[in-house]
Amino acid sequence: MTDKIWIQTPQCLVCWKNGLIQVDDLEWARHQNGIEIHRSLSNSVAEREQIITGTHPGCWQEMFSEEE
């Protein structure tokens, strides 16, 4: 059985806030031991991006949305 742990993410460059993402502890251990994040974590792409860059999904949308 695996447990879930909370990972603090880096400061977002859009809103300047940190975030928290919940991950599987065994998956996180695999990532910490050198396995690429997309191969080790079953979290969503948006959550993995937040772990890497700190960019929250809503902030990502704000940065890359096309205004008309």
Q: What are phi and psi of 25, to 5 degrees?
A: -65, -35
Q: How far apart are CA 62 and CA 11, in angstroms?
A: 16
Which pTM value belongs to this model?
A: 0.85
DSSP 3-state of 35? coil
Query: How would you write the pLDDT of the chain (68 residues) with one tens digit per residue?
Result: 679 999 999 999 999 999 999 999 999 999 999 999 999 999 999 999 999 999 999 999 988 887 65
Domains of the chain, by residue range, sit at 4-64
Cβ neighbors of 47 (< 8 A, separation 6 or more) are 21, 41, 57
Residue 40: in which H helix or E strand, if any? Answer: helix 37-40
Q: How far apart are CA 12 and CA 29, in angstroms?
A: 24
